[in-house]
Amino acid sequence: MIAEWSMILLVGLLPVFFVPLPWVTLAQAKVSLVATLLAVATVTWAIARFREGNVRMPGALVLAAGLLLPLAYAVSAVVSGVEQVSLVGVGIEPDTLAFACIFFITLALSSLIFSHTPRAGILAVRALYVGALALLSLEVVHFAMPTISLGGVIAGQTGNALGNWHDFAITLGFFVVLGLLLRGGEAMSGVWRYVSHVVVFASLLFLIIANFFDVWAAVAAAGVVALCVELMASRVRAGRLIFSWGTHGVWLATVVLALVAMLFGTYINNALPSRIRVASVEVRPSWQGTFAIGQQALKQPTTLFFGAGPNTFGHEWGLYKPVTVNQTAFWNTDFNAGVGSIPTSFVTTGILGILAWLLLVCSLLWIAGRALVRHARGAPDMRLAVAFGLATLYLIAFDILYVPGPAISVLVFVSAGLLVASAAQSRGVARSFGLRNDGWQSGAYLCALVTFGITALAALVGISRILLSEMLLNRSIAAYNSSQNVQEASALIRNAFLVYPSNARAHRAGVELGLLELQQLVAKGDPKDDAARAQLQATLQETIQHGLSAVAINGGDYQNWLQLAGLYQQLAGVKVAGAYENARAAYERARAENPSSPLPLFRLAQLELLENHTDAALADLTAAVRLKPDFAAAYYMASQIYASQNNLKDALAAAALAAKNASDDPLAWYNAGSIAYVAEDYANAVVALEKALALQPSYANAQYVLGLSYAALGRNDDSLKAFEALNTLDPNQSIVLEALAKLRAGKSPIPPAPPTRN
């Protein structure tokens, strides 16, 4: 009973569960719920089986295919080198070994527990629609009172308690398909029929607001299949084809609505009131981009068969992403998944992983197809199997076409488990395995049960540890942002390490906090105080160790190398011995891990400037703009270097490119204007400085140089207005008052040039 109710609670709470704290993300809350309830269900179910001495197993084909998934991930992780990123990641990625285990545990426990009694499956369905009703009610409240955020969970126009806006829409489509299929069945009898009707109707309304083409297409496809099956079933029962508006008309109306929304959804959405007109933007690699990465990542026979390693798509993206991506707004975005979850698995686990997915999908298609055919032929008691068969296929389609969040990823396997359980109940087919009989078979079954329990707990405990560590890290960040207290934030970081020492993201945060703490110690410390020097040295060593630990944990993540390089760069700035060399080596490693990114080259140029290696810095900047020709920051830095060398021609050209590629940045226009002024190109200086002031009217430096530029062009009236505006902006500055006095006396406000030395 404990195992059964744990799974029922999982089904009911999964859509709506959240933690109203700003440092617990929605994904972390969902996975924590899943891990906790699965752990309880695993332990109690295993104890019950030991006491009973028997295991009743439905859908052996599906469970065997499902078992191949974590096995494929385990083999891939071992072959690619056992890395923390492949085992658990940060706890919420569906492409890790731990999550593959969670998928199988969910599938196994759902099918094993819900097949035990018909009542359990019915309670699970009702719990799901209670959760759906709560989810939709919360969203109605959010639209009515958008200021309510519940700790940031439903903040923003697309805020909801399930996941991102696309995940929310996919789940609504699932509620629609499942709810319409369950009409008239025992699960939705009595008052539950009205609950189902409300959820389906509200879901359709929110789908109109969400306006996702792929969701409407999936709902339409499911509706067409359901309509055909119902028509065939009615023909078998009545001996002829009879169209019933009560049974078939609902499906026809749903399909028509979906088709209309697919064709005219944008027009409908634009006609909605602005308060409920939701705009959602999401970006991920295309099919072409995903397979391009796969072609590069899977060149070797080993990687072709076993993949690059679970959860390593982000690393492969950094190594092989097309340089053309640098011309988009997402040039610095690290994509950790491809176009869909299953295509991503092909890159990360190779042929072995994709075969595991293919066998699982085919086994589910087989069971769902048989249920649909039996229902079409008039077989009784097939409603639950048909409903979960079609609903499971609906969700699996999005694993191929999209990368769902944790809630939907787990819901796929809950639905698949309920499909297996309901199909077994309707056919009365389930194998029993005795655990106390004589013979080696019972011993083998007992070992399998023990192995299942231990493996499940190991995966669930492992993912729970990283989740708790990540939550403490988030709390540390929130604490620092609210109080600027480095010590408090550092204490929380140390707690995160106590829970899970191999948290690379926490080590990166430790570097940032360590640098802040070093600044504070330097500012208030007495150089002659031995205790202060000892504390400074200890903090420095701890900060460096954090950086080294991050790259040791995940050396394939270029962000870890950038963080370490940035730390050494800070030390190079204060002339710490060996810091420059270490920083340069770390930047080069970051380049190796992400060769198409211009960012390591830009940071390397900054490092070279610390050592006055201007030629090397210019060479790095030139290499950076080859990768990203519109890299405004690189042009800006190059213009500053050229100006310092009195090479005003190249400085003007670089500054103009910086302003062109960062046309909304007042600093870029001020830089171009000030260099043009020094080069005595006063007309272009005026144009650039006026643009800077149009973007930022309170830009005092730009106002000052503009006034001088007007004066150099003989536009003394405009110069006077510029200095008067500057005096209003920053009153009674001596240099401004002096310029005003000269202008009013008919003199030039331009300061005399310093005398040159022979």
Provide DSSP, 148-214.
--TTTTT-STT--SSSSHHHHHHHHHHHHHHHHHTTTSGGG-THHHHHHHHHHHHHHHHHHHH--HH
pTM above 0.85, yes or no: yes
* Of the listed ranges 108-122, 353-367, 482-496, 522-536, the one predicted with least confidence: 522-536
CA–CA gap between residue 201 and residue 172 (Å, rounded): 10
Rounded mean pLDDT of the chain?
90
Is the pLDDT assigned to residue 374 strictly greater than 70?
yes
Distance CA 324, CA 327 (A): 6
Helix and strand totals (H; E) in the chain: 31, 2
Alpha-carbon distance of 266 to 280, in angstroms, equals 13
Question: Among positive and negative, which fits the CA dihedral 311, 312, 318, 323?
Answer: negative
Name the phi and psi angles at 575, rounded to 5.
65, 40
- Residue 147: φ, ψ to 5°: -75, -20
Most confident stretch, 296-310, 320-334, 364-378: 296-310
Q: Find tokens 């979850």 and name the residue.
A: 341
> Which tokens go with 301?
């026979």
Residue 526, pLDDT score: 66
Which structural domains are found in the chain, ordered by start?
2-458 (no CATH), 503-597 (1.25.40.10)
Q: Which of 334-343, 350-359, 373-382, 478-487 has the lowest mean pLDDT?
A: 373-382
- Round to whole Å and give the CA distance between 666 and 636: 12
Q: Which amino acid is at 143?
A: F
Closest CA to 706 of 614, 482, 696, 692: 692
* CA distance linking residue 112 with residue 116, whole number of Å: 7
The answer to whether the CB of 89 falls within 8 A of the CB of 96 is yes
Residues 6+ apart with CB under 8 A from 73: 96, 97, 100, 101, 310, 349, 353
Q: What's the CA gap between 335 and 332, in Å, rounded?
A: 9
| pLDDT > 70? residue 672 | yes
pLDDT reported for residue 756: 36
pLDDT tens digits along 580-635:
999 999 999 999 999 999 999 999 999 999 999 999 999 999 999 999 999 999 99
Q: How confident is the model at residue 657 (pLDDT cuts 50, 70, 90)?
A: very high
- Rounded to whole angstroms, what are the CA distances from 549 to 136, 274, 569? 44, 49, 18
Query: Is residue 239 scored above 70 in pLDDT?
Result: no
* Tens of pLDDT, residues 732-742: 888 889 888 98
Contact residues for 553 (Cβ-Cβ < 8 A; gap 6+): 84, 502, 503, 504, 507, 560
In sequence order, the 6+-apart residues with CB closer than 8 A to the CB of 300 are: none
**C-alpha to C-alpha distance for 95 and 88, rounded to whole angstroms:** 9
| Share above pLDDT 70 across residues of the chain, in percent, rounded to a whole number | 96
Beta bridge partners of 57: 431
Q: How does pLDDT run across 171-227, given as a tens digit for each residue?
A: 999 999 999 999 888 888 889 999 999 999 999 999 999 999 999 999 999 999 999
Is 108 within 8 Å of 59 (Cβ atoms)? no
State both tokens at 431. Answer: 């194998």
Question: Region 557-570: what's the mean pLDDT?
Answer: 94
- Output the pLDDT for position 752: 65
